Amino acid sequence: MNNAVEINLINFLSIYLLLVIVGLIMKKCKIKQTNLLLIASVRMTFQLVIAGYILMYILGNPSPILIVSYVLIMSAFAIHRILSVNKGLNKKFKLIIAMSICVSRISIIAFFIIVVIKQSIFNPQYTIPISGMIIGNAMTGISLAVKSFMSKIKDSKLQIEVLLNQGATPKNILLPMVNSSIETALLPTINSMIGMGVVSLPGMMTGQILSGELPSTAILYQITITICIASVVCLSVFLSLYLGYKTLYNKDNQFCV
């Protein structure tokens, strides 16, 4: 198979014309996030360029310290992003979210690299890109779950008051909201899995095919990483909410929200 066709700078810059179209549509529809689209596209470009050069150095000079540092930076950014879009959480809830993303990330990544593909955990060719996919999806899942959960609490304040007055415990009130929020967070991943191979060819598989890998190899990698992503989203969201919701009330069953 042929390797991927190189894109020259002029052809590359032409892709930004599509963002102009998106921006015009958003402006026409009076969507307030038009400026955010510009900021996001600029940040994405610079971040990927910088990440590319850093990865070139790490791949050329593989070192456990560099690999661990890079993965920790990714995790720290993911945690910061989750907390920045879910303000108002107490300190214990924040710590639980950070712990959840770290525990789920380490366990799933280690299982994939050591058990499935039988490589060293300090092999940057596998550890860094796999970590990026897993941490990114965990970040999205937790953000969605926590936002959904806190919104349900905010929208149900009156109902919660009534239930408390009738003798219901905070646990009985919050658990259905926790379960519903977990379902909300898992739906995008499940829908993506349902459509793979029919509606879409996912990124990892497409990238491997473009780089010249056999489709059979790309398929196996995509199936394994997709299951890893579903697992890390489920585990991180479950730990975040099932441990986090308990910080919203004290031992006397009084809400601390």
pLDDT in tens, 137-159: 999 999 999 999 999 998 888 88
Q: Which long-range contacts (CB under 8 A, 24 or more apart) does 28-34 make?
A: none
pLDDT in tens, 159-216: 888 888 888 888 888 999 999 999 999 998 888 888 776 655 566 666 666 566 666 7
Residues 6+ apart with CB under 8 A from 232: 104, 105, 108, 134, 137, 138, 141
Q: Indicate the DSSP class of residue 116.
A: I
Give the mean model confidence (pLDDT) for residues 10-21: 85
**How far does the chain reach from its first CA to its final CA, in angstroms?**
58
| Mean pLDDT (the chain, rounded) | 85
Token code pair at residue 85: 């879009």
Contact 33, 241 (CB under 8 A): no
Helix (H, G, I), strand (E, B) or coil at 255: strand
Q: pTM of the entire structure?
A: 0.81
Q: Name the band, by pLDDT with cuts 50, 70 and 90, for residue 18.
A: confident
The residue ranges of every structural domain in the chain are 1-61, 64-248
Contact 200, 193 (CB under 8 A): no
Tokens 């239930």 belong to 163
Question: According to the model, what pLDDT value does residue 102 have?
Answer: 92
